[in-house]
Structure 1
């Protein structure tokens, strides 16, 4: 009956029938208990399982291997549950006692498997330590090659690196498996120096490395760019007979190629007796890394086997070297294209600025995942097509079941910030919080940028203050946002907080700081910050920083000092700096320096009519009408027209761009009728437009 109930997964019936069996004084045997215990296990009926355990002891089956193994399995499963930790430790103790009773009879390998299973289920350090105690005290030798490596690996998984060191140091007789567990843990924590140092200890102790050891050590040499140490490891590869090991050989090729030693990588490849598709891929990727696409393609054509990874490697090589024509040819003949292949090609078009082909390929795709959508959205974002970013994001939400990632949301928030689409940005903020991205660093940085660019400084500050973790971008975004919107004092206050928290400023930070000083008129303080870039942080000022100083002096009305600063700059002033100076001349009505700035701008941008417009406004304000007329002629002689400014507005969950006198919109007649109506209302209230101030004469 028990067997039949088990086969039909009628576990409750097994336990009920067992209770009847005991009440009727029928003695269970070595076949009864395992079936009843398995039913308790499947139901997670631990209380009933413990009662059955007491009957196991009563009826003398504590040393029965079949019964004991089932008990261990039941308690081990309890150890993987969400019970309080004290129960986990109780079950570990019970398992240890069962193991002690079974040790003389239970096969050694089976006992090891039980402890390995227990270790894999552990979530806390106390559990791991309790199991280690039982292993050493009751069951297995500390140098056991199965349980101890698992114990060490688990220590790294639960962030108990120092305890892993302690366990490792206490092992008297270490083998390659024990060392490999430590190497793997160090690699996961990017402790590459420790890998190399421990490998030296391994060799000194005459422990022979195996095929798993060398790749981990070589990867550490690669990450540290420690080519000399890598060559020494290579010599040991030859010494211990792993010259033809495909896994070791592929890692050697990767190391040499990444260090620019392609000839060494080729020699390793040529000396390998056995090569698999991974080896061929490593060598071809080595050529790609070093810009030798001809050799990469030649080897690709010779490869006896090509899997999708090898095809994608060659495809990506062409894309990274901006040879989209060859990439497309290869893509078109590629057999069994997978989604990764399509996404690689899609991102190739996007990153190389060919948005039209990116769109065409996206529409051809029969299957799309989040990387496909992100590729198209990212392509639009990187090429300044922010309206399409928002449109594609809405399409993704409406047409697919794909969920956005943080990369998606960051691109959308950036587009909202550039377009001033505040309402949609707020919706994305709510969406991000509801889908688990509330504390995501990248999303929070995007939100700060959005609110700052849209003038919602309080919202930007709230996001910043509520962030659990901040990086340099977080500080730079909020400081620059505050500075641009006239909150210079707060920007400087945050700069002080930034330094106190140990975050080192960079060149972008100082753009915000200098901008803050400029808006506040803090000339002396601005120069002090400018000098501290070099003296305290070893940051070489870039032309944008020099431009900030010119703006600082210009806003303060120190125009002659600004010209002197420009003349002494170690870099040649660009159009932005002279335009900044020209704008300051308009504010302070300095015609002489304005004419100097225009002459410099004519040399840099001879066909830019905007420069004439600005100086014309200065002449007009000074009522020098003769020069206004002269500039109008000079502007006409450039043969260029000033590009109209483009604005955007959110309308019905969308963003519409428009120019002055724009008639492209389908409802342009209704829009202009409404605009004329508003103008009539203003005029009726006594408003008189100042056409001179608006620069309508130019």
Structure 2
């Protein structure tokens, strides 16, 4: 845009077409305030009056940067310039006012329109939906003289947005013609509202699936925590072969691999992405960094980060957080300095990674300094996550009373994560008083979680206070809940298998436990005596 502006400035008397080109260029590149400034200059020129192509771009820019006052001034110019009856311009005015939640002003313009085309009807209905007035939106929809596929989909999306899937499905079934966008809209609606079974059924009904259809199913699984199903759907998509995965598909699958620890499949997706034109894709790169970091391959995560020609804030946040998680705090802090030097502005997520790095290195003073810098240098208001990092930093360093004082001074109530961090640190440093206070708070926040009682019972046990251990066991039993067993997963033959301690659900359970007994005997023959009674398969 800099070169375009220089060329434009050389013209002493730019006409309307030239002004429109500059205004459109600024709008397409996100310089919305420049659009408003250019319009202000344009309307004062003698030979460059704004026309019906100028106003819509300027009005959309006013909406983008919340410049309502300037938008109202543009509206005055529209009237003075004689464009009040132009449907294209008036529709843009409606969109600006409804986008600013002045639905009454938008509706007045709609009522005054002489020529209401289907675009105007759709825009007004969409305005009511945006302002959460589904009743008026539906009334207008029913009154619309004609309805195209876009208007039908707009109304269906309105019901989906407020979680009214029954009404959305009713309207969908009434549609005279359904295109692939219609099917995808209702599919994503089920996914967004957590009805995975309905999402699966509808997916099978779609007559012609495209990438958005497959992504609707795959992202729907991921959104609702069905990560194994994400991998199954991805494999089914590849076998089907009619639609190729895009970057959204690959990012979702890599995220599922990271959550499941499916490193081998993740590596395969990495190769697939590079061979299919996604090597320089920043979103795929970020997902790969996350995958390798969460699967323990931090060196590979760093290699992916270094290979990326384009990095965004998420790229930096992911690698800094990954390095911190793996105990490489010095590298994380070094990258944070590189990030600042490269001109990337950190956010709250960045500082979570930085504070975690300080926690793993025991850098209490540095952590406090970074926390203060976040507020003073970057005007980032700390949220409960950053406060939690600071409490964890102090607690792990053994400064339990300081951590407790920090909790008391927080502007919000501490959550269960913060009190659990204090409880865990209390066991390490055998501080019964802080542990009892933490359990008291956790009992209010998580009354159904017996794991908190177990932690305090272990502290009592370490100190030989067996009467207190017995008392806590009774209290834990009285809650009526049992500690949820930890779930693990392992990648076998391109599949991810989940299992619990003493799990017997697998069809090859007998063979698995037989192999485990064989390994136990082999360990014993080498002089190692495992604590087999803990696993329930000993002699």
Q: TM-score, normalised by structure 1?
A: 0.73
C-alpha separation between the residues in 1 aligned to 2:454 and 2:48?
A: 80
> Which SS does the other structure have where 1:663 is aligned?
coil
Between the aligned partners of 1:569 and 1:198, the Cα distance in structure 2 is 46
CA distance in structure 2 between the partners assigned to 1:372 and 1:304 by the alignment: 31
Q: Which runs of 5+ in 2 are unaligned?
A: none
**Could you list the per-position Cα deviations for residues 503-552 of structure 1 after superposition, in whole angstroms to 9, with x for gaps in the alignment?**
22221111111111111111222222222222222222222222222222
Whole-Å Cα distance in 1 between the matches of residues 316 and 158 of structure 2? 36
Residue of 299, 308, 312 corresponding to 1:471: 312
Residue aligning to 2:297: 456
Cα separation, 1, equivalents of 2:163 and 2:88:
31
The one of 230, 245, 255 aligned to 1:389:
230
Give the match for residue 188 of structure 1: 28
Q: Distance in 2 between matches of 1:502 and 1:184?
A: 28
Question: Cα offset for 1:431?
Answer: 0.9
Contact in 1 for aligned 2:520/2:530 (Cα 8 Å): no
Q: Secondary structure at the match of 2:528?
A: coil
Q: 3-state DSSP class of the match of 2:43? A: helix
Change (3 A) 1:682 1:504: same
Distance 1:691 1:508, change over 3 A: farther
Match for 1:179 among 7, 10, 19? Answer: 19
Between the aligned partners of 2:181 and 2:331, the Cα distance in structure 1 is 47
- 2 CA distance for matches of 1:518 and 1:469? 30
Whole-angstrom CA distance in 2 between matches of 1:182 and 1:563 = 58
Matches of 1:243 and 1:160 in 2, distance apart? Answer: 35
Residue 248 of structure 1: aligned partner: 89
Q: Distance in 1 between matches of 2:9 and 2:335?
A: 43
CA spacing shift, 1:302–1:636, aligned 2, 3 Å: same
Q: Which range moves more in the overlay, 244-253 or 550-559? A: 550-559
Between the aligned partners of 2:379 and 2:59, the Cα distance in structure 1 is: 35
Structure 2 partner of 1:161 = 4
Picking from 85, 88, 98, the partner of 1:257 is 98
User: Does the residue aligned with 1:656 lie in a helix, a strand or coil?
Assistant: strand
Q: 1:366 aligns with which of 207, 210, 229?
A: 207
> Aligned-pair distance for 1:208?
4.1
User: Which of 607, 624, 629 pairs up with 2:465?
Assistant: 624
Q: 1:641 aligns with which of 479, 482, 496?
A: 482
Tell me how far 1:166 sits from its aligned partner: 4.2
Task: Please say if 1:199 is aligned against 2:39.
Answer: yes
How many residues are aligned here?
A: 536
Distance change in 2, residues 1:674/1:189 (3 Å)? same
The SS at the match of 1:657 is strand
Query: What is aligned with 1:408?
Result: 249
* Corresponding position of 1:437: 278
Q: What is the CA–CA distance in structure 1 between the aligned matches of 2:351 and 2:25, rounded to whole Å?
A: 40
**1:306-321 equivalent positions in 2, closer than 5 A:** 306-321=147-162
Matched, 1:278 2:109: no
Could you list the runs of 5+ residues in structure 1 that have no partner in the other structure?
1-155
Name the residue aligned to 2:76: 235
Residue 517 of structure 2 corresponds to residue 676 of structure 1:
yes
Aligned partners of 2:406 and 2:17: how far apart in 1? 67
Q: 1:528 aligns with which of 369, 373, 396?
A: 369
After superposition, give the CA deviation of every residue in 1:573-632 in whole Å (9 maximum; x if it has no partner).
Answer: 222222212212222233343333223322332231111211222233333333322222
Which residue pairs with 2:350 in the alignment?
509
TM-aligned CA distance change 1:202 to 1:505, over 3 Å: closer
> Counterparts of 1:273 and 1:188 in 2: how far apart (Å)?
31
Based on CA coordinates, which of the two structures has the bigger radius of gyration?
1
Q: Secondary structure at the match of 1:650?
A: strand
Residue 174 of structure 2 corresponds to: 333
1:215 aligns with 2:56: yes
* In structure 2, distance between residues paired with 1:390 and 1:166: 55
Cα-to-partner distance string for 1:268-320 (whole Å, 9 max, x where unaligned): 11111111111111111111111111111101000001000111111111111
Counterpart Cα distance in 1 of 2:469 and 2:531: 17
Question: 2:527 matched to which residue of 1?
Answer: 686
How many Å apart are 1:334 and its aligned residue? 0.9
Higher relative CO (Cα under 8 Å, sequence separation at least 6) belongs to 2
1:86-130 Cα deviation digits (max 9, x unpaired): xxxxxxxxxxxxxxxxxxxxxxxxxxxxxxxxxxxxxxxxxxxxx
Q: Shift of residue 206 of structure 1?
A: 5.0
User: How far off is 1:693 after superposition?
Assistant: 9.7
Q: What does 1:47-58 correspond to in 2, within 5 Å?
A: none
Once the two structures are overlaid, the 10-residue window that deviates more, 541-550 or 281-290, is: 541-550
Partner of 1:145: none
Distance 1:605 1:216, change over 3 A: closer
1:558 and 2:399 are equivalent in the alignment: yes
CA contact (8 A) 2:99 2:127 kept: yes
